[in-house]
Structure 1
Amino acid sequence: MTQTALAVRRPQDPSELGALVELAAEGFGGAVTRVQELHEAVADRSFGPAAGRASVASSAPRAVHDTIAGSVYTVVRGAGTLLGTGLARTVRAAGGGPSISDHPRGRLAQSALNGLWGDRLDAAASPLAVPMAVRVRGRDVPLEHDALAAAFPAATARPVVFVHGLGESDAAWSVRAAERDGTYLTRVLPELGATAVTIRYNTGLHVSENGRRLAALLEVLVDAWPVPIEQLALVGHSMGGLVIRSAGHAATEREDRWPALVDTTISLGTPHLGAPLEQAVHLASWALGALPESRPIAAVLRARSAGIKDLRHGRLVDDEWERLDPDALRGFERADVPLLEGARHHVVAATLASSPDHPFARVIGDLLVLTPSAHGLQGRRRVVAFEEERCRHVGGHDHFDLLNSPALDGFLRDWLAPRPLARCVSGR
């Protein structure tokens, strides 16, 4: 497989700041439209429906109201569009402005933006859309032998690929590094003779699309890695664990080479059976859509990205979403997606309470994911075939603590420790 398998739509205009201004103008226009829809729904309650009224007398006040209100909204929306377009042109004429992704805070905002609307950004080939890439010191690394050798001068035969979660970036693994004496990458991997490889990707895309992109990236990475790879490990936080499972499925179907190298996968706080917050938002958007006055609010909630919606059930493949109305209350059918054969699969769930059996833990979990979902359990039935002895729990942790917690160091040391070699795929 060549690097062309990783090709994504590239923006013709590389100005990130110009794209951000246009996106803000588009968001302003959308907000004005939602307010107008709410206004019209209230007017329907007051005047009656805009069509089919009983008398001309009763329709006259409504006609005046609609004309004035419609004109005001059109002017405000148009002014916002003109202002945004003008500012974007000014930015581009001045050279495009500073690169948002060159600064840590800018990358943080860009990752959050991709989490919310990344599918739209990708479809529009926006320069704000995050391409999937290996990252070193905040920069993309080309998947070429020489570039990887320069970026990883101490590369070992045991790379460990870290895949972040929704709205995060490769920098997420360094959360609270100063107060926790480093990260998993610095506290754990060096003593194991392993090399950390961090990935950044557009978390607003469907998990299945990111799974295909990760599978393609790993196939190229294996071939271009500076030294022959003996064992490969994959670590995912939250959505990252789903992307890893989806990538394994895609690679197996294509008969890629890299799955044969995978010794270990680890998912940290991954909603394998769905996340309750997304389920609640989905239910709220469905309920709000039932009344004219609340439909604009429902429209705002429904505008969340495909990636977020995939977290409702932990969807991994196209078949789980492409024939399903994204706003339907029911109809989801889980596909049979086996775990990657030949690897050890470990999962960690966290709860704010010390015990997973605490009533508070059962309801809140780690704030975003409940223990049964993280462990692949539905009641007492195991839906995802994790072995019981490979499922762990840590108390007193929230969802994001799992990105960098010394309490997990022992688990990672045990799970990522090298095993006797059984397979090897050489790099260049």
Structure 2
Amino acid sequence: MTPRKPQPTRDALLRHVRPSDLQAAVRLATQATTGVIGVAEGVHQAVRQRLGLPAGTEPDRTGGLTGQIYQGIRGVTQLVGHGLDSALASLLPLVDDPANHPEPSPGREAVLAALNGVLGDRLQATGNPLAQAMELRLAGRRLPLESASLMRERLAGASPHLIVLLHGLCMNDTQWLRNGHDHGAFLAQALGATPVYLRYNSGLHTSTNGREFARQLEWLVSQWPVPLTTITLVGHSMGGLVARAAVDEAQRSQHRWRARLQHLVFLGTPHHGAPLERAGHGVDVLLAATPFTAPFTRLGQLRSAGITDLRHGHVRDADWQGRERFGSALDHREPLPLPEGVACMAVGATLAPQRGLLADRLTGDGLVPLRSALGQHDDPRHRLVFPREGQRTVYRTGHLELLSSPVVAQQLLQWLQPPTPGLHD
């Protein structure tokens, strides 16, 4: 007789799936169904227009009896969705206590990070429980910025050198650990520094995340238990743009931490955009070219504000405010140079074995072109002037491999290692 497999415990299940996920899934399903209905009606109306039949209240809505049927289906979907949402909102507090939840599994956190990267702005706008709140984290746990006493307890033994690491799109702070290596832990041991990791909703605008990060870092610095002599920001991919946005915000708001910022390090950051998002915009344009495919542009336009910011590397509010995110493909950014008084360094990667036109402009690290990662631009106003000794190109290396590359680790250590006293006397 085959022995029965042991059943997973409640805590084991809760590490992967939470009861509130059901409510979040209902909201997403309702929004997705409504969107599909809209696409179907848009295609239907495109056919009707070719037959000379009138539209409804909007150009992509059908009129007459057909329009009433679509409106009825849409209404029933909303009614069922709101009903289920209200019922779950009443029921969940009776059967679930978030305070007793076990630590989430890495798999769950990776899925949530990816979902927030793609739909994070919509999740936040609709109050979806899956929306990721920004957190500063130490040793895998959130730093309780709301409690000064708990902060002092968590920061006991902190170093005068603070390193903050900012992850990229669709990722989270736990993913700095890759193939057994974590740049933060490595640098902490080598430099005697304290590594703090930022977790954020990468589907929000880069400038929005930068502003909130600047605010939280200001509070963290005010609670630091020893005098801070050095702050280093290390950003991977989108994290580098968030770091630049935070420094710009700190400059305008006169945050105290800005004076302690000594190093700003970028790993594969798309300073001037990434071709995949520009390709996504091109698909939008192609779909919009005919009335029969135009309704399908709604599917592509589900992608988040964070993703569309990567088209040209938006950092400030002015880069996107007052413009339709899926409209013009032109670069409307105002030039933003690297901050003064800060040692800025950039690592760019390429899958190619050596430098060349293909490696520089096309291949890159698989996601970010080498020129974009190194701040190079055809327009001199947009060029980011990194010192020669503050640039490093690594070959046969992909975008995510930057996180585990021993070459990158040693380069970071060389850049951040304080000078030996008397060496140049």
TM-score, normalised by the number of residues in structure 1? 0.83
Counterparts of 1:124 and 1:86, CA distance in 2: 16
- The answer to whether the aligner puts 1:114 opposite 2:116 as a matched pair is yes
The match for 1:28 among 25, 33, 46 is: 33
Deviates more, 1:237-246 or 1:74-83: 74-83
Within 5 Å, give how 1:360-375 maps onto structure 2: 362-375=361-374
1:191 deviates by 1.7
When residues 389 and 42 of structure 1 are mapped into structure 2, their CA distance, relative to the original with a 3 A threshold, is: farther
Encode CA deviations 1:149-171: one digit per residue, 9 max, x unaligned.
43344311111000111111111
Counterparts of 2:404 and 2:398, CA distance in 1: 11
Encode CA deviations 1:208-235: one digit per residue, 9 max, x unaligned.
1111111111111111112221100000
What residue number does 2:105 align with?
A: 103
Contact 2:214 2:247 in 1 (8 A): yes
Contact 1:356 1:362 in 2 (8 A): no
Encode CA deviations 1:124-148: one digit per residue, 9 max, x unaligned.
3333222211124554221244323
What is the identity percentage for the equivalent residue pairs of Structure 1 and Structure 2? Answer: 37
What residue number does 1:141 align with?
A: 143
Contact 1:286 1:327 in 2 (8 A): no
Which residue identity does 2:387 align to in structure 1? E
- The answer to whether the aligner puts 1:88 opposite 2:88 as a matched pair is no
Which structure carries more relative contact order (alpha carbon 8 Å, separation 6+)?
Answer: 1
Encode CA deviations 1:8-50: one digit per residue, 9 max, x unaligned.
xxxxxx94541332122211221232133223324544xx132
* SS of aligned partner of 1:162: strand
When residues 85 and 109 of structure 1 are mapped into structure 2, their CA distance, relative to the original with a 3 A threshold, is: farther
1:117 deviates by 2.1
The match for 1:176 among 176, 179, 187 is: 179
When residues 394 and 49 of structure 1 are mapped into structure 2, their CA distance, relative to the original with a 3 A threshold, is: farther
What residue number does 2:127 align with?
A: 125
Counterparts of 2:301 and 2:324, CA distance in 1: 12
Within 5 Å, give how 1:35-114 maps onto structure 2: 35-45=40-50, 48-51=51-54, 67=65, 71=69, 73-74=70-71, 77-78=74-75, 80-92=77-89, 93-95=91-93, 102-114=104-116
When residues 419 and 331 of structure 1 are mapped into structure 2, their CA distance, relative to the original with a 3 A threshold, is: same
Contact 2:267 2:348 in 1 (8 A): yes
Counterparts of 1:94 and 1:40, CA distance in 2: 41
Counterparts of 2:359 and 2:270, CA distance in 1: 18
When residues 148 and 404 of structure 1 are mapped into structure 2, their CA distance, relative to the original with a 3 A threshold, is: farther
1:379 deviates by 3.9
**What root-mean-square deviation, in Å, do the aligned CA atoms of Structure 1 and Structure 2 show?**
2.8
What residue number does 1:8 align with?
A: none
Counterparts of 1:213 and 1:413, CA distance in 2: 28
When residues 88 and 103 of structure 1 are mapped into structure 2, their CA distance, relative to the original with a 3 A threshold, is: farther
TM-score, normalised by the number of residues in structure 2? 0.83
Deviates more, 1:384-393 or 1:272-281: 384-393
Unaligned runs of 5+ in 2: 1-18, 56-61
Contact 2:135 2:199 in 1 (8 A): yes
